[in-house]
Structure 1
């Protein structure tokens, strides 16, 4: 396996794997201190995972809202807000 892939696999194993033993955690910390690029790569990978998790939650929320709209219709007051917006727009036109 290429060295970059091995490095990425080690980072993923640390970030996603089971909780390391105290010795393994200490070894990882020492490695990160001795190799600043490893620390930067691990931080970037962690940010990537967090971004993917947020995007997944946002997509799931949108899908659940769409299902809710299909089952129960638009939220109450939706038509009222739209009508009020239209009235405001008409009033602005007449004030000019």
Structure 2
């Protein structure tokens, strides 16, 4: 298993451990932060109808769970976690919107 595949599996485990059926997908990619330091960018893609069902504490707990599961793989880069829905990602990809 490649390192990014292992990180993706860990991030999915962390996200699904809290949000379970609300998660449509988890994407991971190498990135840099504002200071130019290497990070792992994690995007948790939630079903469009899930936002009304998730409270702030669940978002926070998911963030912590993802960071812990990624760290457990031996990954030293910090995880930068974002949340999105498929419709938000489609809007971002559409240059006309």
Instruction: Output the TM-score relative to the length of structure 1.
Output: 0.30
Higher RCO (Cα < 8 Å, 6 or more apart): 2
Larger radius of gyration: 1
Instruction: Output the TM-score relative to the length of structure 2.
Output: 0.30
